Structure 1
Amino acid sequence: MSTPTTTPVTVLGLGRMGAALAAALVRAGHPTTVWNRTPGKAAALAADGATVASTAARAVAASPLVIVCLSDYDAVRAALAGADVDGRVLVNLSSGTSEGAREAAVWAGELGAVYLDGAILTVPAAIGDPSAQILFSGPAEAYAAHEAVFGALGTPVHLGADHGLASVHDVALLGLMWSMLNGFLHGAALARAAGVPAADFAAIAERGVGTVASWFAGYAGQVDERSYPDDDASLNTHLAAMDHLVHETGALGLDAGIPRHIKDLADRAVAAGHGGEGYAVLAELLFRS
């Protein structure tokens, strides 16, 4: 009888992330079977003790727990075509949308599999470290049965029974990441145009980002309650500062697309009568967009 520390696991897909997942499972002592469309990618894992299957179907047959990490949900279905997943727990850590996750859950269920969808919130090099957060959504019983296995990959978090929740969180966090990175790159360009090395700006920006992140919990409460008190500065006050940002950007000869987009959302909120409320009131426009 297998235990959480000896549960056989199959990993389908050995790109950078898939290979990192398989390597972490091998290190944790799990009998690990791997498959990849290009067999050569499995050589290093085989040297470390993984079993290389010649087909996806054989890889699936080797384990009760199957983890898939491919380019998208279509690739998942293609890889599993002809494989017998009946009675197995199928964990899809490929990128996708909440709609795709729910459709995949129906498809897997029709084949007799128990389906968990997931999202990896880290880079391959961090897999296996507790700092790596991995989100899961789907049946709580299936998650609980294999939580210890998932712990070998990082810190697992179960979001709920709705299969789409992992993808919703994933794309929301990607949006946050890109917004932060675009904001930083605009600030770095602004600083460099003024003769300040971007590296000097980065040192100050890191502390500023930490301060902004500390506001998230409070803003989240306001969004949930749909109540936006003017605790520190009203949207009107923010809008005046946005004018300065747009002006400074243009004066230095930079593209003003990012600050104009920020100001446009605030302008619309003020026009809708929200100027005296707190900054988080912008969420109300996003709900209606």
Structure 2
Amino acid sequence: MTESRARRLWRVLEPYHAITYFAPDTRKATDALGLRGGWMSYFGCRAAPLGPVGPEVVAAVFYNFHPSMVARAIPDAWTFASPEQLLVARLEAVDSAVRRLMPDASTAVRRTAELARQAAELAPVAGRPIAAANAALDWPDEAHLVLWQATTILRESRGDGHVAALVGAGLTPCQALLTISAAGGPSKAVFQLNRRWSDEEWAEAEEDLRSRGLLDADGTLTEAGHSLRQEVEDTTDRLAEQGWAAFGDDKALELDRLIRPISGAIMATGAVPDDNPMALRWEPDELPNASAGPGR
């Protein structure tokens, strides 16, 4: 896939946001509130800006998780902690994780956070429920937390647009995963482990895609399948580009330059695994010396 500006900026900003999913600090914080297990922690924290919604709403807006997987965590999560408590817990967990992974982050990210907040305040939220819910939250005071909240708004705005692109392309949640895997993304095993679609459901999705001429008998995308997948990615980028165009070329380039070593340092620590369900990848030559840290 060609890396447009919107895609490049997602890729370099996403590791900083993704700390919340992979650092043990989040699970520790939600365990203290009584939540049970990592997935209840994930669904509770990510859905908390929406309020105490039911599993149907979470499955709909998150899109590619099996509804039964969501239902094992929501609404039970709200019986252990309110959304307001989880919003506090996730921010405190990010604070702990960033200070542990990058002790100098408070000084290294000040300008980065300033730019990221400006970009986040321009990110489209109309028709984007998760982005709008996060954008409605109060901003934290410290720079490294402002940066995290900004990256969260930006990625959820892009993600909501991606869901719209998938719906427009006629790809079901399982088919969305299947086609990105067939296009060279994360493996079926990674997606099944993290999204919980069964072998039978995966096979049904494959059969439907074959009937539409999008998938070959061997499970590879046809030319039409590749074209549709590219259309989804191009639409996602185009919808995200609305905010970046308003942000401006010069500031976008500066943000890219400033966030890249910070996110590269996070990826170099292994805090975000290489084989992740977000299809987030960094090439070895993009990674700094893990011991150097950002801003040094």
Q: Quick check: which one's strand share is greater? A: 1
Structure with greater contact order relative to length (CA < 8 Å, sep ≥ 6): 2
- Given the two structures, how large is their TM-score scaled by the length of structure 2? 0.24
Larger Rg: 1
